[in-house]
Amino acid sequence: MGLCGIDEAGRGPIAGDMVMAGCILNSHIDGLNDSKKLSERKREALYELIIKDSFYHIVKISPQTIDADGISLCIKRGLEEIIKNLKCEEYLFDGNSNFGVAGLPTMIKADGKVAEVSAASILAKVTHDRDIVKEAKKYPQYQFEKHKGYGTALHVEMIKKYGYCDIHRRSYKLKALQASLF
C-alpha cells in the first residue's frame, strides 16, 4: 500500500482526549481538506466515506496520560502505535516535528495538501468532537458541546465557577485561571 497520512486533533484543548489517526485511502474521495476548514456537517459526511473506503487506526490519549507523560511523549507513542498497526510503504505526519520517530517524514499543512493526511485529520477531528459532546452530557455545566474543550472565555468561566472535572488536563496552565485557582 502507498501512503499512510497521520494527523491529530485535540492537542490544544484543556479538556478531553487527544485523538490521532492514520489513514490509507483505497480510492479517491472528493472534498477532502484540512478538517478545520470544513463545516461540521461536511466533516461528518466525509468521515462516513473515509471509514467505508480506507484502512485506518485511531488512537485516543486521555487527559490523565497527557498530564502524567507530557504531550510530546504521548504524540510519539501515538505515532508509533499507528505505524505498528498500519503497514505501509510511506508515512506522512502533519506538522514540522516527528517527535523522535525515526524516518517519519513531516509536512507543514499536509492536512490541506495531501488527501491521506486530510482524511486522517477528519477521522481525528470527528472522533474528538463526538467524544467531547458525549462528555458534555456527563458534565453539562461546562458546556463542552460549545467549545469542544478549548480554552475559550466561556470554558474558563465554567472552570472558575465549578473547578476542574475528570476530563480536564491539569498540566495545561492558563493565565486566566492562575489567580482564581491557586
pLDDT tens per residue, range 39-68:
999 999 999 999 999 999 999 999 999 999
pLDDT above 80 for 176 = no
- Closest C-alpha to 65, from 106, 105, 20: 20
Query: In the numeric block, which cell numbers belong to residue 180?
Result: 482564581
- Compute the C-alpha angle 1/108/60, nearest 5°: 65
Q: DSSP for 20-76?
A: EEEEEESS--TT---GGGS-HHHHHHHHHHHHHSEEEEEEEE-HHHHHHH-HHHHHH
Q: At 82, is the secondary structure helix, strand, or coil?
A: helix
Task: Using DSSP, state whether 88 is helix, strand or coil.
Answer: coil
Residues 68 and 25: their CA atoms lie apart, in Å, by: 34
Give the model confidence (pLDDT) of 129-154 as tens digits.
999 999 999 999 999 999 999 999 99
For residue 11, with 0-12 CB atoms within 10 Å meaning exposed, 13-18 middle and 19 or more buried, which class applies?
middle
pLDDT score of 7 = 98
User: 3-176 — its CATH code?
Assistant: 3.30.420.10
Residue range 15-26: mean pLDDT, rounded? 98
pLDDT for 169 = 94
Q: Which long-range contacts (CB under 8 A, 24 or more apart) does 163-167 make?
A: 165/15, 165/139, 166/63, 167/15, 167/16, 167/17, 167/63, 167/135, 167/139
Residues with Cβ within 8 Å of residue 36, at least 6 apart in sequence: 111, 121, 125
Pairing mode, strands 3-9 and 90-94 = parallel
pLDDT band at 172 (very low <50, low <70, confident <90, very high): confident
Of 133, 138, 136, 179, the residue nearest 156 (C-alpha): 179
Model confidence at 155, in pLDDT bands (50, 70, 90)? Answer: very high
